[in-house]
Amino acid sequence: MHGSHSTRRDSILTPTASIRMPRLTSGGTRDERVIAEECPVALVFDGTTMAVLMATPSDLTDLALGFSLTEGLIEDPGEIEELSVVPGVDGIELRTWLRPRAGRRLKDRRRQLVGPTGCGLCGIESLAEANRMHCTVVRQISLTPEQIRAAVERLSAAQVLNHATRATHAAGFFQPGHDGMILREDVGRHNALDKLAGALASQGLSGRTGAVILTSRISVEMVQKAAAIGAGIVVAVSAPTALAIRTAEASGLTLIGIARGSDFEIFSHLAGVRR
């Protein structure tokens, strides 16, 4: 990927991830609270808007790159020619220019529209796409119950924005044997996962080498996005939907939900957890 930039003017105009705002407590106290920011973010590819998200205005290049990968608009970060963060009065545009081959694929995809966009999924233009299945993932790791507990605890401890605001989701990448965790936060759970996908891609890390850890429920889109980056294990503090479980089973992905403390439930591909 070449030409990714945010100019000095962009950094001045781009909102911060949080802001202090006045409040009145139930006890009658007037003071301030740190509040998570959200704003419209348009994902623009080769001059055409593909989606408009309500997102936390941080890690926006990760968001654009991750969205491009998890929605199948590109197969590799090298297919992006230029990526710019462009703030405006009404929101922020993430302008992505693709190399010719990827640009042609995008045009062909848009020509296949069978009707107006309306199913409500980011970047999805038909009901058939909403039910898309990814290729089977190749899991390179398995986790012990202790590692699952440690991963969830590490995710919770690293949520700096949520600790301040109590209003954001997080997606983290846990690698057995590694300290720390790559983590991204956003008011939207899909956005947090896309930001994580972009962060991994920019660092040249494969999803196969670790597990995706989520603060949210596991919907089918979260499974699809995790599979798109090759992650073979997804762990979440909340439960999955039935379609998410079926999609994980079809993709070869180990799905672990309701992970709290030492307790968790495995919903697909038990081999991802070793006792």
Reading the chain (275 residues) residue by residue, the pLDDT tens digits are 655 444 434 444 789 999 999 999 999 999 999 999 999 999 999 999 999 999 999 999 999 999 999 999 999 999 999 999 999 999 999 999 999 999 999 988 775 543 333 334 554 555 666 666 556 898 999 999 999 999 999 999 999 999 999 999 999 999 999 999 999 999 999 999 999 999 999 999 999 999 999 999 999 999 999 999 999 999 999 999 999 999 999 999 999 999 999 999 999 999 999 98
Q: Any idea where the domains of the chain sit in the sequence?
A: 8-130, 145-272
Domain 145-272 of CATH type 3.40.140.10: yes
Yes or no: say if 233 and 212 are a contact pair by the CB < 8 Å rule.
Answer: yes
Alpha-carbon distance 157 to 131, whole Å? Answer: 34
Compute φ and ψ for 178, nearest 5 degrees: -110, 140
Catalytic positions = 119
Our measurement of the distance from residue 78's CA atom to the centroid of its chain's CA atoms, rounded to an integer in Å, reads 20
Q: For the domain bounded by 8-130, which CATH number is listed? A: 3.10.20.10
Please tell me whether residue 94 adopts helix, strand or coil conformation. strand
Our measurement of the distance from residue 137's CA atom to the centroid of its chain's CA atoms, rounded to an integer in Å, reads 18
Alpha-carbon distance 120 to 52, whole Å? Answer: 11
- Give every strand in the sheet of 92-98, ordered side by side: 48-55, 39-45, 92-98, 80-87
The sign of the CA dihedral 226, 228, 233, 239 is positive
pTM of the predicted protein model: 0.90
H or E segment at 70? helix 60-70
Alpha-carbon distance 213 to 103, whole Å? Answer: 32
- ∠ CA 60-63-66, nearest 5°, is 150
